[in-house]
Every structure is written in structure tokens, then in C-alpha cells.
Amino acid sequence: MDVISVIRTKRDKGELSPEQIDWVIDAYTRGAVADEQMSALAMAILLNGMNRTEIARWTAAMIASGERMNFDSLSRPTADKHSTGGVGDKITLPLAPLVAACGAAVPQLSGRGLGHTGGTLDKLESIPGWRALLSNEEMLHVLDTTGAVICAAGDGLAPADKKLYALRDVTGTVEAIPLIASSIMSKKIAEGTGSLVLDVKVGTGAFMKNIEDARELASTMVGLGTDSGVRTVALLTDMSTPLGLTAGNALEVRESVEVLAGGGPADVVELTIALAREMLEAAGIKDADPAKALADGSAMDHWRRMIAAQGGDPDAALPVAREQHVVTAPSSGVLTRLDAYDIGIAAWRLGAGRARKEDPVQAGAGVELHAKPGDTVTAGQPLVTLHTDTPEKFDYALQSLGSAWDIAAPGTEFTPNPIVLDRIA
């Protein structure tokens, strides 16, 4: 095998053979294929695509590059969830302990934020003492004793994907659907979960801007999971507007705790319960009611145990940014649009996100929303509050909010998008 012939095959819209795929993934993981060569192949895949056979083999090759986990020793069925990323998407935080409270084990391997989308690990690290890095033994212990664990994927899990993801991020190939699907599913299949629910975001604040691309991605991933023996279902969910009323790290943890306490924004509660029901059904648990587990406090109990088991203090005060800046409504009327991407960029510029993987994040930075589409606002009332430790960032963040919202005349009728747009199984 040689990498030039592999690149040329896909450049010329050909189908990569199983042998070519196995060889190039292994060679790249070992360092025998250079970054610039894999970059060329990734761009060819972005432009020319892959068929289902190629994607399945690519995914299998990435799984084979590392170890596979096994949860057969657990007394509960396992169910996992993956979101393709959005703004204010804090759903994993209340969802994992909620599903655990209903009888499933939730081995949630999560990631960090990059660009305008937030990262679950960054959010949880705003809790004093909480640890994202666990050994496989520690992960299994937390899962066995609390029912849920949220942690970083170990270096041994699909190392080819870890290396390729970092390359795609800096070469403009993140959006390639075959590479997104194989990246997500290689980690989830190697993780060893028995069932998987995918939350595929659609809208301005998501990687998939239109529902056709989102449906293609979801169908591809459901097929990969099913072919590998993992019960897999996908929900397409709206990401044109931020989820909840916060975008940031400690801000989103605080809102998640409100949900676990029986309150919180209606859209966060609705999506959390919808995903919980899908996870429980996929795990074969028929008689549990996630809405009841939120109301009776059992989900909160599992949250506290999960956080404490990973070194965190569930009673500790969360970080608060040193500086705030309030943006007021420019006119009176009905808020008809609040753009998720613009809000996400503002939160990122305030310090809630990172431009490179090695950049630090501010725990207290982010954007707090005081109104959502459909609400009536009055000129001069607070619309959003910006939070940061570095006030010199305010002007940069405000630039992204110049066209983030529309306010229509008073009395304008408004019909919001449904949160769940479609289901693919």
C-alpha cells in the first residue's frame, strides 16, 4: 500500500477498498502517513463522500486502532447518549443521573467545547474538585456504585479518531458527514454500551444547518450502530435557538441543578425527558417514568452521588464571573428570533470556550438570556447579560450580537419550532 494511491482513489471519486482503509488508518495512527497526506484524503472524502460499506469499514478500522470496553459485569443494562453539539446544550448533566435513577447504567464519555459549541467536561469542571480523567477501573466503579458516570474517553479508546479529529478541526473538514459519523460511532461502539440514543442538532447553532444533512448523518450513524449490535436511535432536535437560558460553564451547571430540583427552563426539561424515555426504551426498561424521577428527587440524589464519586462537591458554590454587562431590548414587541450561533460566539469570545484544545476556559463566563422567542419584551428591559472575568472582552462579544435577535410589532403571533423535529430508528 502507498498513501498517494489511496488519496488518488478518493480524489477521483472511486471507492476505497477494505484493504486500503485498514492500511491508511493503521499507518496514520502509527505516524507512517503524514498529517498533510491525511488532510488531503479527508478533503477528498468531504468533497466526494463515502458509501455505507466504506463508512462501516472506516469506523471498524478506527475501533481496531485501540481497546474496547465491556460492561457485562454490571447488573443493569447500559444506555448512552451522544449530542452532535449546540449552544446551551447542557442536557447530559441532568439526563445521566435521571436515566440512572430509572434503572439503567449510563457510561457517558463526553468531550470539551471547541468554538461556539460548549463541552460537557468544561461545564462539570466548574464544580470544585470534580475530575474528568478516570481510569477504566475508576469509571467502572463509579458506574457500578452510582449508576452513571460522565468522564473523558481514555487514550486507549479509538486513538485513530482522536488524532484524526484534531486534524479535521484545523483543515476545514469537520463537516464531512462520513467522518463525523465514523468519529462518533467508533468511540461509542468501542465504549461497549448496549444501546445508544443520538441527539442530532439542526439549525444555525449546530454543525448540521439543514434537516436534510442532519437526517443523512443520523441515518448513517443509526446504521453503523445497528450493524455493530448496538441498539441505536436518533432524534433530530432544534438548535436554531439556544437551549435553556444560559450558555457557559458554571451558568449551565447551575441551570442543570435547577432542572434536577424540579424546575428549570421548559425546553431543557422537555428534551431531557424525551431523551430519557428513548434511552430507557432502548435499554429494555419499560416501567420507569423519568418525569416522576425528576419530581420525587431521585434524579437529584443520583446527581449528588455521581459528582461526589468523581471528587466533586455538590454543595460547593459555583464560580461567578467578576464582571457583567447587560444588553437591553432596543424596542418593544415580540421576540421572534434569538440566534443560537450568535449567542454561542458571544459566549466563546467572553471566555467560555476555546479556539484551540489547549486553551483554558473561564468557569464563570458566558451569556444569560432573559427572554426567549415568543416572549413580549419592552424597550430598555434586560435582554441578555454577558459574564466574564476579563471586561475587555465585552466589545468583542457584543460584535457577534449585532444581528442576534428580531423583535416584531406588539401582538405579533409567534409559533415556535418543536424541539424534536424527527426520529430515526
Catalytic residue among 81, 187, 349, 393: 187
d(CA 101, CA 98): 5
Task: Note the Cα 106 to chain centre separation in Å.
Answer: 15
Strand intervals (E) in 98-239: 106-110, 148-152, 195-202, 231-238
Q: Which three cell numbers stand for residue 412?
A: 405579533
Helix (H) or strand (E) holding 221: helix 211-227
- For residue 37, how many other CB atoms are within 10 A of its CB? 17
Q: Residue length, the chain?
A: 425
Catalytic residue among 81, 168, 201, 215: 168
Note whether 410 and 222 are within 8 A (CB).
Answer: no
Catalytic residue among 110, 183, 195, 256: 183
Task: Note the Cα 65 to chain centre separation in Å.
Answer: 24
187 carries an active-site annotation? yes
Q: Which CB contacts under 8 angstroms, 24+ apart, belong to 161-169?
A: 161/62, 161/65, 161/186, 161/187, 163/28, 163/29, 164/28, 164/38, 164/42, 164/62, 166/357, 167/35, 167/38, 167/39, 167/42, 168/42, 169/114
Q: How far is CA 264 from CA 244, 254, 422, in A?
A: 8, 10, 24
Catalytic residue among 82, 90, 112, 188: 82
Torsion of CA 302, 305, 308, 309, to 10 degrees: -110
Nearest CA to 235 out of 199, 210, 282 is that of 199
Note whether 402 and 390 are within 8 A (CB).
Answer: no
Note whether 282 and 82 are within 8 A (CB).
Answer: no
Give the N- to C-terminal CA distance of the chain in Å, as an integer. 38
Catalytic residue among 161, 238, 267, 339: 161
256 carries an active-site annotation? no
d(CA 122, CA 248): 9
168 carries an active-site annotation? yes
Active site positions, annotated: 82, 161, 168, 183, 187
